Chain A
Amino acid sequence: MVRYVFMRLAGLVPVLLGISLVTFILVRLVPCDPAEVYLRLSQIPPTPEMVASVRADLGLDRPLYAQYLDWLWKAAHLDFGVSFATKQPVLAEITRCFPATLQLTLASMALVLLVSLPAGILAALYKDSIFDQFSRLLAFLGASVPNFWLGFLLIYLFSLKLDLLPVLGRGTPAHLALPAATLALSYAATYTRLLRTSMLDCMSADFVLYARARGLRERLVLGRHVLKNALLPVTTAFGMSIGHMLAGSVIVENVFAWPGVGRLCVYSIFNRDYPVIQCYALIMAVIFVTCNLVVDMAYRFLDPRIRLGGGRQ
């Protein structure tokens, strides 16, 4: 097991190298010079002399390979340079913003689980009932309603009209409620339906019939036999969503003025802030690969067929 994890993590290295190179190139292919952008942000007219001097400051006047190798060498020592826009160390900027995004994502995940588990189970058990139809409607809405619109709607309803929660910002758990709910809704919708389908599949399986034939209590049949098997595909899908959620919180962060890393990333892209973009891409790569790994390991943990290799006696 340890060896397996080690091998997978070792596989991270070529992935990161590849991503860093691709990001480096792609970001420089986008039109507009970061030097000019910086000048415009400062409301300084970008004359050729000014631009040249800023370019020299930012190190953009060196040949491309020199820039890349220099960046790579520093990155290997965890020095990701300094942001073009704020002149602060990149890693410090990202780690400053990251906890907020992480908190938002975890809260959303918790909400997703809290909603979709019971809803999916009940929808399967009471198939075609009012509850099932209602959950189907909610799933449809959740998947099609745009994030920002939902966010504003929730603010209007819960904050302005009912005066239950604050509008935006970060501070108390009350501040976390609406952004987490907005981010969670579309995922909750999907997972409710996924769990429902998974459970219905399991409920018509042979081993469930046999379990009932043996006279097991219904609760035991549902819990140990149906749910346990039904949760397997849902768990792995959920694990993959984590990376997705971390990257996709941008809109929610914008609407709720949540000081997270998604917002930072979008600003960096608009501001052509190469060092921040490059570091962010690397970090997201690490997160995705790790999520992948965790999901695989969870699968091994949960499914004995994979863990024990299916050997016959």
Chain B
Amino acid sequence: MSRLKHASAALFMLLALLVLTAGCGGKPAGDAARAKSLTFSWSKDIGDLNPHLYSPSQMFAQAMVYEPLVKYAEGGKIEPCLAESWTVSADGREYTFKLRRGVKFSDGSAFDAKAAKKNFDAVLANAQRHQWLDLVNQIQDTEAVDEYTLKVVFKNAYYPALQELSLIRPLRFLGPAGFPDSGKTSEGIKKPIGTGPWVLSEYKKGEYAVFTRNEHYWGAKPKLEKVTVKVIPDGESRVLAFEKGEIDLIFGSGTISLDSFKQLRDSNKYGTMISGPMSTRTLAVNSNRGPTRDLRVRRALQHGFNKQAVIDGVFLGTEKKADTLFSPNFPYCDLGLKPLEYSVEKAGALLDEAGWIKPAGKEFREKDGVPLELELCFDSTNNIQKAVAEVMQGDLKKIGVSLKLVGEESQSYNQRQKDGNFHLIFSDTWGAPYDPHSLVSSMRVPSHADYQAQSGLPMKADIDRKIGEVLLTTDEKARRELYSQILGTLHDQAVYLPVSYQTNMAVYHKNVSGVTFSPQVNEIPLDGIDKT
């Protein structure tokens, strides 16, 4: 018996020891009561905060610490940021930026043309990684003309240059002390030193990150002194943590389920806000495959789908109905395109015209003995896509179209977008500042669902050519005309089935004020938030 006693005693002590070291887990130092501090959550860890690279760094965090030359404001307006003013040469190829004076990095070193150029060089050295961004492909050279003047020369006149310079990554500025000895930020950085209103002060990987206010910030200092970001992967847990008071703010699209949002809103205990349209949730309809090759079938799908029901039933009124690919408030998108409204009769008539007739006693239309069957592919982990797909399936059944729902795991679903292996597939737009020019640009690339969907159009080559032109032309009027043609054609050809304009949402405790939305969908505007 003593053997067993000794063994169990030892085991017990071991267990006790390990349980007690629970206290050695991390906990953010400091108390909310002492500093003006806000806590919110993110589903992933913030990453290594390298301004010139991508995953695993999270964009909202990069935006807190690093700043661009110019900012993207409401409606696509470009505003000065680290560059006070700029001039563009007549041929549109040279941009001369006058940099803001007196700006310091968070370690006290000065921001000047030399530091700016160092950043540009590091990004260009890794140009291969940034191929996707035409801006980087178009930059020919940069020059530090004097201490506060930076010149950027492009290979061609590239009109979205300023929009793309405002992006969160890759062209924001790291302090020289943060560069590795080799100068190559593609290998990593020493410290996240930026000019932005926030500085990373504490970081426990996988658990939380703490940002403190940059006391030497050149602009309007944030009202909050401290921001803590906790890593909470699960949406329901996030809601519970919020209700308990462990986080002050829920921000973003899809961070909590729509049901939870409704429940929080209806409780009247918290503040809630919904933004304007950020991007478009749309389906891409494949003009190069199966029954959707026929324009009449594609237009019939548009008429046969009751979008308002989806807005009310699935989105619970948090998003607005979309009838065009881009929301009219985006640059060049206010084109007055006529929506294809919900009309079962029109849909039926179009299908009849296309030769798809409903045989007596059968549920679905047929042509030459083949039933009208379409596949709608969606991401099985995305509940919203699933819900929309189910409504559509019901609607299309009413006009005699059999819609098969194919839900797959994220990566396989993405594969289908690439291969064109779909009749209909979800394919959202990218939001500001990418819309419309970056998305339109990507329509030329075969590995995108947009290209695949449009590949059956007789005028596809023409569309691509026009896209190439619109990105390079310096004439504002010509640009407008080209966009009108491109987007008009796509609209008439019904290769997109827009569903709703995605919005951002925010939920916060009553003691939090100043919550707004940034025009850039990946930014969280913490600067204006206050807490009592």
Which residues of A are at the interface with B, using a C-beta cutoff of 8 A? 31-32, 36-51, 53-54, 85-87, 96-97, 100, 102-103, 106-107, 109-110, 152, 155-156, 159-160, 163, 166-173, 175-176, 224, 228, 254-257, 259, 263, 270, 272, 301-302
Contacts and interface: CB of A to CB of B under 8 A. Distances in A.
A40 to B, nearest CB: 6
B34 interface: no
B240 interface: yes
A170 B132 contact: no
26 contacts: A31-B411, A36-B411, A36-B414, A39-B132, A45-B132, A45-B447, A47-B445, A49-B131, A54-B129, A86-B48, A86-B55, A87-B56, A96-B206, A106-B18, A160-B240, A166-B244, A168-B246, A170-B26, A171-B26, A172-B23, A175-B25, A228-B4, A255-B237, A257-B233, A257-B234, A301-B7
A36 B56 CA distance: 14
Contacts of A168: 232, 237, 240-241, 246
Given A45-B442, A171-B23, 4 more contacts: A96-B205, A160-B240, A254-B237, A301-B3
B21 interface: yes
Interface in B404-451: 409-412, 414-415, 418, 442, 445-448
B398 to A, nearest CB: 35
Interface of B: 1, 3-4, 7, 15-16, 18-23, 25-27, 47-48, 53-56, 59, 128-129, 131-132, 188, 205-208, 230-234, 236-237, 240-241, 243-244, 246, 409-412, 414-415, 418, 442, 445-448
B513 to A, nearest CB: 24
A159 B414 CA distance: 39
Given A159-B244, A173-B20, A270-B410, A53 B237 contact: no
A309 B197 CA distance: 73
A54 B149 CA distance: 35
B27 to A, nearest CB: 4
Given A255-B237, A256-B237, A167 B246 contact: yes
A173 B17 CA distance: 12
B56 to A, nearest CB: 5
Nearest to A302: B4
A interface: dominant SS: helix
A31 B419 CA distance: 13
A273 B16 CA distance: 36
A300 B25 CA distance: 37
A152 B54 CA distance: 34
Nearest to A177: B22
Contact of A254 (B233, B240, B414): B233
Nearest to A42: B54
Contacts of B16: 110
A169 B54 CA distance: 26
B429 to A, nearest CB: 12
Contact of B56 (A85, A160, A170): A85
A103 B18 contact: yes
Nearest to B130: A44
Contact of A38 (B4, B19, B23, B55): B55
A92 B331 CA distance: 47
B207 A169 contact: yes
Nearest to A227: B4
A100 B428 CA distance: 38
Contacts of A170: 22, 25-26, 207
Contacts of B418: 36, 46
Given A160-B244, A167-B244, A53 B414 contact: no
B56 A86 contact: yes
A100 B25 contact: yes
A147 to B, nearest CB: 12
Contact of A257 (B23, B55, B230): B230
Contact of A32 (B4, B23, B411): B411
